[in-house]
Amino acid sequence: MPRLLLLAALALAACSHAPAPLGDTPDGDRQPTAGVLPAPPDAALAAIDTVEMRAAHIAELASDAYEGRGTGTAGEQMTVDYVIARMQEAGLVGGMPDGSFTQPVPLRSVRTTRAKDLRFVPDSGDPIALTYGPDLIGTPDGALAELDLSGAEMVFVGYGITNPGYDWDDYADVDVRGKVLVSFVNDPPATASEPTLFQADTLTYNGRWTYKYEEARRRGALAMLLIHTEETAGYPFSVLNGDAYGEHYTGVEPPEGALALAGWMSESSARQLAAASGMSLEDWFRMAGSRSFEPVPLPVTFSASMAFEHTAGVTGTNVVGKLAGQTDEAVIYTAHHDHLGIDPEKEARGEDGIYNGAIDNASGVAMLLEIAQAFTQAGTAPQRTVYFATLSAEESGLLGSALLAANPPVPLRDMVANINVDSGNLYGETDDIVGIGAERSEMFGLLEEAAAAEGLAVTMDPAPNQGLFFRSDQLAFARGGVPAVFVNTGERFRGKPADYAAQVRADYRGTRYHQPADELTDDLVFGGILQQTRVAFRLGYGLAMSDLRPQWRASEAFAETRRQSEASR
Ligand SMILES: [Zn+2]
């Protein structure tokens, strides 16, 4: 080969080693990769064994002896012991910095015990009295026992979003430290001139209520009150205030910049607040939908006298195993091992009260254990370290993964990717898989390559408006900037009618999901989960054996976090 051509070929080879950059617009083309993901040896793939998944892992973890694997229960301890034993058999070592396999997940519950004299007080005119529950709810982020506010300044911050990827900044560098912020939930609607603004109907992380609080904390706000409307939230206010004085589980460590009050107000309260500010809610929506929006100091203050009871709750346990690589970089697999425990009232009535959680998520733990074994059967140590974490307290609000991401075994900037599995496909083989959240980063092209090696296509999330990406453990890693994917069930079942996936979902939701009936029954089949597990293994193996560093698309809320953490490497 002539020298010049040879050089050109080498340059091409070097280029193709990194995934082609994605378009930096929200609807930029998703670029499949080709031949950049190192393939695992057949012996490693052959280690993924559905007989073991079914007869050992799932049969064991979903048996009544494990009592539904409730967080902090004896059943969880049995689960932890089982997982560690299998990890050790596979050749993993403890993944925590002290060499242990476990990370305690202490929980706390918070309850509002007093909420009186709640008022919006306009500079002129009568105060607006609010009732805790119907009009407004909220609890502190941290361990605050009492909150007495009078004359607290309020600022309307529109949708409360800062996202350089969309050239959008609702805070516009206005200092909101010590203020009570008022924000819409969801994200600004797309417009005729920007039909893909905030990904149109797909829920972006900037639209999630958790993001609003995070941004308020970063800005040093005192408190934040989100405006509920059925349209922007997608559910009625009763979902939020149904148990206003009830206990809510949270982590023990308060987040940095903890808000004294993270709450919500009803639409009618928001209408009164807007009117007292000389505007209407419609005015506020119109203003907030504009890129030139700036925070609006309100001529209204907030008063409240509240007390909260914090109780040390149970302590769950995350399990973290690792296969050491040769660099500081890492790939992390996750699957939650907790489920809903036992319902004593059901048991007292003589019904089955054990939430066995065979699909949710003994199946995911089984996938993770088989993937660990496949890695150790590959014959050579990976280039990057591979972590395998089974997580606690997912069902209590993703608290185990939040704790692990806040206290990771290696800094998140060195984590190249998170691959999460939650509720494997026990309904049959498919011609495709769905990678929830993959399209948010360059993980999509890599996942396509891993799937193609198994003869599968990658189908887009069939319900992007439901924000599934924000509802399992990958969220904690994404929030920390780590590109992540939740490898989910495909949509095209082999030999079945086109609507079979929808039928399966309806059946699962109706008869098993979060019910004692989520058991290992004879009708469950293992062809689909085998496909999924092999794809998830190929993806992580390829990332562990290369120097690929997938990046978020520029418009993703997590892109800026990643940019900052990579700058600190
Ligand atoms: Zn789950």
Residue 18 has a pLDDT of 38
What is the DSSP code (8-state) at residue 353?
-
Residue showing tokens 């036992």: 342
Q: How far is the CA of 361 from the centre of ligand 1 (A)?
A: 5
Q: Over the stretch 245-297, which tens digit does the pLDDT of each residue have?
A: 988 888 888 899 999 999 999 999 999 999 999 999 999 999 999 999 999 99
pLDDT at 29: 52
Could you give the CA distance from residue 31 to residue 24 in angstroms, rounded to a whole number? 12
**Tokens, residue 42:** 């057949």
Cα angle value 528/321/355 (rounded, 5°): 55
Residue 130 Cα to ligand 1 middle (Å): 37
Distance 320 CA to ligand 1 centre (A): 18
For ligand 1, the distance from its centroid to the CA atom of residue 347, given in whole angstroms, is 23
Cα(404) to centroid of ligand 1, in Å?
17
- Four-residue CA torsion sign, 77, 83, 88, 93: negative
Ligand 1 centre to CA of 568 (Å) is: 33
* Ligand 1 geometric centre to CA of 167 (Å): 35
The alpha carbon of 486 and the centre of ligand 1 are apart by a number of angstroms equal to: 11
Could you tell me the distance, in angstroms and rounded to a whole number, from the CA of residue 77 to the centre of ligand 1?
18
CA of 288 to the centre of ligand 1 (A): 35
pLDDT at 30: 58
Position 34 scores a pLDDT of 75
Long-range contacts for 122-131 (Cβ within 8 Å, ≥24 apart)?
122/276, 122/277, 122/299, 122/300, 123/299, 123/300, 124/299, 125/276, 127/303, 128/269, 128/272, 128/273, 128/276, 130/265, 130/269
Residue 321 Cα to ligand 1 midpoint, Å, equals 20
CA of 58 to the centre of ligand 1 (A): 14
Residues of the chain predicted below pLDDT 70: 1-32
pTM for the whole structure: 0.89
Distance from the first to the final alpha carbon of the chain:
40
**501 CA from centroid of ligand 1 (Å):** 18
CA of 487 to the centre of ligand 1 (A): 12
- Write the pLDDT tens digit of every residue in 377-430: 999 999 999 999 999 999 989 999 999 999 999 999 999 999 999 999 999 999
Expressed in angstroms and rounded, the spacing between residue 72 Cα and the centre of ligand 1 is 17
Give pLDDT, residue 31: 58
Ligand 1 centroid–CA 395 distance in Å is: 7
Taking the centre of ligand 1 as the mean of its atom positions, its distance from the CA of residue 422, in whole angstroms, is 5
